[in-house]
Structure formats: structure tokens, C-alpha cells
């Protein structure tokens, strides 16, 4: 009973405490709500700003995601475009190369210097090889080996008609290929030989590609013969040019030899004429001495001694002319320059067998060049061709013209030439400074002509005495 009462009392106490807590909590909640309300009113701008920031951050996050997706898409597009660009570039370069092959004014540097494929001594040998090449082409065409068809075509179920069609197609194919090749061979020159070789190969590939549907193909053996014909024709023209230049060199040498011969003969005749005149004068002097008095004899004897000296000089001159005429290799090697025509450090090293070597130098400075040549050295040698050839070989890398070796001009310093000449021929006097008189005077005149005219000052006028008195 007592326990029950205690339990009841404990229950009321718990209920009372709960009620009190509820009342207290309700009051606190009201106060908290009021406080929160006050804070919300007080800090509303900050709350709004935070919300706005959160909103902007969310929007920015979405924008970043969109931008990243755009970057990924752009990379994919760039990759695709790059692939298309590389393919287009490859096509462009191929078309550009084909276009260049079709031009006749291609730079030689693109293909390099032509190296001969044959070794013929004369153009006649080369021409014979061209004839043989054409005979082989005809033989291939006649044997139906120049172009072939590997498919047994029929026309209207007729094998015979199919063979006729194939023969006509092959004939048309070879005509097209031969026509293009013949056109190129007719126009081949030193600066387009390799270009034309590639054009023949391109034509071969293009025609075979066009006929691939009919299974008709020009044989590579026939292509090789066409390329060989092109090379042979080119080298035939080169050989003819070389022979022409050699003939020109020989004619020039013959003219030079003929002029030298005439000079020698003229010198001999003049020396012989002078000898006869001196001998006649000496004869007269001897007669005069025999008839002269003692006083006059001394005078005539002095004249006779002078005539004997002149006669000896004339005989020496005659002997020298005769000796040079008999020696086929004696002559002068000259080193000359023409600054006005060719510039500094360009020298011509040549040879002449003339009795007066300066005559040859004067001929070189004729109307073909604007100024006369200056002589830096004139070297006499009993074997002038050997000395000239030795100098040309030594300075071969300094040649201006490496194709036509008759053009004996070298880009080199005069000191180097002098050094080699002294080493091979002994001490020779060199004139280091070129006078170039006409060239230097022309520069001065040109400078004067190009200079602005000085203004002409007006003459000052002074008042006369009458004017002064009038005032």
C-alpha cells in the first residue's frame, strides 16, 4: 500500500516537472523566435548577399562545366580539322608539284646539275644510239609488247570484236603517250631535263590509271626507252654544243696563229729591209773613208761604227723573229683585268704568240666591253701553253664560267696569282694597281652629272650717285 502511494506521488512529481519544463520551453521558444526574428531583420542584407553568392557560384559552376564541354568539343573539332588539313596539304603539295612539272621555267636548283648517263666521244655516236633506241621502240610496238591487255574482252558475245576493240584502245594509248613524250623530247634543254623525266613518268602513270578499268597498261620497258631517248637527245645536243665550241676554239687559235705568223713575217721583212739599207749605208761610208782626208776619216769611221751597231741590232731582231716563228710553243702569258666591266678581283689569264703581245690585249678591249683592259703581268715563256694550262688548273675552283672553259676569267686576288707564277716561273714584275683610266674618269663625270646644280645667286644692285642725290 505504501509502495503504491509512493509510486503515485512520484508520478505526480514527474508530471509536474514535465509541465514546468513545457511551460519554460514554450517561453524560451518564444524568446528564441523573437531573437531569431530580430537577427533575421538585422542581418537580412548579409543573408541575402550569401544567398546571392551561392546563386552566382552555382551559375558559374554551370558555366564552367559548359565551357569545359565546349573545350572538349573544340578539341575534337580541331583534331578533325587537323586531319582534313593534313590530307588537303598532301593533295595541294602533289598538285603543286605536278603544276611545277608542267612549267618550262623551273629553277635549276630544284633538280640540281644534270649528270650524263652516257659516255660518247662524238655526237655521231650519240646519234647512232638514238637511232638504235627508236628501232627498239618500233620493235616493241610491232611485237605488241609496248602496251598489253590482260583481260579477254568480248563485244556482243564476240571474242573477235573484243580483240579488235583492245587493239584500237592500245593504239590510242600509245599515240597519246608517244605524243606527250615526243613533245617533251623536242623541247628538252639543260635546265629542264630532270623536270621532263618526271613529266614522262607522270604521263605514264596517268595514262595507265585512266586505262585501269579496261586493264590496259603501257609496259615499263617502253617507259625506260622513252626516258633513255630523252636523255640521249639531251646529251646529243650537249655534245654538238661542245663540238661547236671546240671548233670555235680551234678557229680562234688558227686566227691567232695566222696573226702571229704575219707578225713574224712582217718583222723579218722589216729587219731584212733595214739590214740591206744599213749594208748599203756602210758600203757608202767605206767608200767615203777611202777617199776622205785624215780629218774627215775620223768622222766617217764614227758613222761607220754606229751603222755597224744598228746592223747588229737589225740582225738580232731578224733572228728573234725567225726563232719565234719556228717555235710553236713560245709566247706570252698575260694577266689582265677590267674593273669597269667585271669588277674587282676578276682577272683574265690568257696566252698569245704575237710578237707584240699587247696587240692581243688591245683586241680584247674592243667594242665587246665598255672599257679597255689593264695589264698586270706579261710573262714570256718558251712553253706558254703549258704555263697557261698550269695556272688554269691551279685556279680551276675560281673560274667564273665552269661550263665553257674558253672563258678564262677567274675570281681571285692578284697576290694569289703572283704567288703561283713566282713558284712556277720565277720572279716576275706585277703591276698591282689597275689604272682603269676611262672607268675612273667616267665615274667622276657621272658624279658631276648627278650632283645637284648650285643655285645661281642674283647679282646685287647698288644705287648710283644720281639716285643718291635725287633722294
314-332 pLDDT tens trace: 666 666 655 554 555 788 8
CA 196 to chain CA centroid, Å, is 19
pLDDT of residue 321: 57
Q: Which residue has the cell 646539275?
A: 113
> Residue 360: its pLDDT value, please?
86
Spacing of C-alpha 392 from chain mean position: 24
Other residues' Cβ atoms within 10 Å of the Cβ of residue 352: 23
Q: Residues 6 or more apart from 294 whose CB is under 8 A from it?
A: none
Q: How confident is the model at residue 300 (pLDDT cuts 50, 70, 90)?
A: low
Q: How many helices (H) and strands (E) does the chain have?
A: 13, 6
> By CB neighbour count within 10 A (0-12 exposed, 13-18 middle, 19+ buried), where does 108 fall?
middle
Average pLDDT, stretch 135-161?
Answer: 92
Q: What cell was used for 237? A: 645536243
Local structure of 334: helix, strand or coil? strand
User: Higher-confidence residue: 467 or 256?
Assistant: 256
Nearest to 106 by CA among 178, 231, 200, 198: 198
Q: At what angle do helices 220-291 and 357-364 cross, to 10 degrees?
A: 130
Could you count the other beta carbons within 10 Å of the beta carbon of residue 192? Answer: 21
**Residue 247: which pLDDT band, with cuts at 50, 70 and 90?**
confident
Q: Which three cell numbers stand for residue 349?
A: 689569264
Partners of 411 in beta bridges: 346
Domain residue spans of the chain: 123-243, 262-326, 331-449
CA–chain centroid gap for 213, Å, is 44
CA-derived radius of gyration, the chain: 54
Query: What is the per-residue pLDDT for 317?
Result: 64
Residue 244: the pLDDT is 81
Q: Is the per-residue pLDDT at 265 higher than 70?
A: no
Amino acid at each position: 500500500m505504501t509502495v503504491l502511494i509512493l509510486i503515485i506521488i512520484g508520478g505526480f512529481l514527474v508530471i509536474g516537472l514535465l509541465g514546468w519544463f513545457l511551460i519554460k520551453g514554450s517561453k524560451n521558444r518564444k524568446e528564441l523566435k523573437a531573437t531569431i526574428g530580430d537577427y533575421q531583420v538585422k542581418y537580412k542584407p548579409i543573408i541575402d548577399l550569401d544567398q546571392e553568392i551561392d546563386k552566382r557560384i552555382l551559375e558559374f559552376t554551370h558555366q564552367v562545366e559548359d565551357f569545359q564541354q565546349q573545350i572538349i568539343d573544340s578539341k575534337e573539332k580541331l583534331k578533325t580539322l587537323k586531319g582534313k588539313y593534313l590530307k588537303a596539304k598532301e593533295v595541294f603539295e602533289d598538285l603543286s608539284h605536278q603544276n611545277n612539272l608542267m612549267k618550262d621555267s623551273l629553277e635549276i636548283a630544284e633538280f640540281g646539275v644534270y649528270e650524263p648517263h652516257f659516255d660518247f666521244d662524238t655526237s655521231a655516236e650519240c646519234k647512232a644510239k638514238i637511232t638504235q633506241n627508236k628501232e627498239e621502240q618500233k620493235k616493241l610496238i610491232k611485237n605488241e609488247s609496248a602496251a598489253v591487255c590482260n583481260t579477254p574482252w568480248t563485244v556482243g558475245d564476240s571474242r573477235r570484236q573484243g580483240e579488235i576493240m583492245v587493239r584500237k584502245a592500245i593504239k590510242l594509248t600509245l599515240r597519246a603517250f608517244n605524243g606527250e613524250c615526243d613533245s617533251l623530247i623536242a623541247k628538252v634543254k639543260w635546265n629542264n631535263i630532270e623536270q621532263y623525266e618526271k613529266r614522262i613518268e607522270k604521263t605514264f602513270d596517268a595514262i595507265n590509271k585512266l586505262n585501269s578499268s579496261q586493264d590496259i597498261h603501257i609496259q615499263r620497258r617502253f617507259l625506260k626507252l622513252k626516258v633513255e631517248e630523252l636523255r640521249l637527245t639531251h646529251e646529243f645536243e650537249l655534245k654538238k654544243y661542245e663540238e661547236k665550241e671546240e671548233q670555235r676554239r680551234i678557229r680562234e687559235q688558227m686566227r691567232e696563229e695566222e696573226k702571229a705568223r704575219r707578225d713574224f713575217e712582217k718583222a723579218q721583212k722589216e729587219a731584212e729591209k733595214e739590214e740591206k739599207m744599213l749594208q748599203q749605208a756602210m758600203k757608202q761610208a767605206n767608200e767615203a773613208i777611202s777617199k776622205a782626208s785624215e780629218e774627215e776619216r775620223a768622222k766617217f769611221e764614227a758613222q761607220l761604227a754606229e751603222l755597224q751597231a744598228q746592223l747588229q741590232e737589225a740582225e738580232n731582231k731578224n733572228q728573234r723573229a725567225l726563232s719565234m716563228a719556228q717555235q710553236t710553243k713560245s709566247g706570252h702569258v698575260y694577266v689582265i683585268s677590267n674593273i669597269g666591266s667585271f669588277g674587282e678581283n676578276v682577272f683574265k689569264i690568257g696566252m698569245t704568240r704575237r710578237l707584240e703581245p699587247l696587240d692581243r690585249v688591245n683586241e680584247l678591249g674592243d667594242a665587246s666591253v665598255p672599257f679597255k683592259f689593264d695589264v698586270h703581268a706579261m710573262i714570256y715563256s718558251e712553253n706558254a701553253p703549258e704555263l697557261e694550262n698550269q695556272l688554269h688548273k691551279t685556279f680551276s675552283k675560281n673560274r667564273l664560267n665552269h661550263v665553257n672553259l674558253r672563258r678564262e676569267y677567274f675570281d681571285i686576288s692578284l697576290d694569289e696569282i703572283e704567288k703561283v707564277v713566282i713558284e712556277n716561273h720565277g720572279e716576275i714584275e706585277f703591276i698591282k694597281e689597275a689604272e682603269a683610266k676611262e672607268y675612273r674618269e667616267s665615274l667622276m663625270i657621272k658624279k658631276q652629272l648627278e650632283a645637284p646644280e648650285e643655285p645661281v645667286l642674283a647679282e646685287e644692285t647698288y644705287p648710283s650717285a644720281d639716285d643718291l642725290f635725287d633722294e
